[in-house]
Amino acid sequence: MKLPHMTRRGQGNRGERGGSGLNLLVVLLVLGVAAYCANQYAPVAYRAFLFRDFMDETVNKAAYPPGQTTSWVESQLRASAKENDLPSDMRLEVQNQSGKIVAHAQWTKPIRLPGYVYEYKFDHTARSSGFINPQ
């Protein structure tokens, strides 16, 4: 007895051919787009993380003996921003507030994604954990 939905040697009907090949193509396309987006986004996010960590470390270094000036902190942060390929128009403010060094950095970097440009926004304020050594 022959089953109505089966043809020769267990193959499906003609309209069902190629379905798995098309599914594979769609899955590979989605994975490729996801990998491309991650490749564009991850380096920017990683550099932002490194810069945030460097900001926190630098204000703490400046606050402890022998102590550094706010201009030294600003020059260190600008050098790190250049090294990490951050936007040159970054807004950076370094101040002495109530005996502590406070650095605030803000920038936006466009990330090109397929059919869309994502604006990565960085806004971080680093405060020294100790008081500035009076000189």
What pLDDT, in 10s, does the model give residues 31-71? Answer: 999 999 999 999 999 999 999 999 999 999 988 877 788 99
DSSP state of 63: H
CA distance 13 to 115: 38
Residue 135 has pLDDT above 50, yes or no: no
Kind and range of the H or E element at 124? strand 116-127
Residues 6+ apart with CB under 8 A from 26: none
Residue 122 belongs to what domain range?
43-127
In a domain, 100, yes or no: yes
Model's pTM, two decimal places? 0.76
Q: Tell me, yes or no, whether 36 lies in a domain.
A: no
List all residues 6 or more positions away from 13 whose beta carbon is below 8 Å from its beta carbon. Answer: 5, 7
In the chain, alpha helices (H): 19-63, 70-83
Q: Would 97 be classed as within a structural domain?
A: yes
Q: Which two tokens stand for residue 2?
A: 């022959």
Total tally of structural domains belonging to the chain: 1
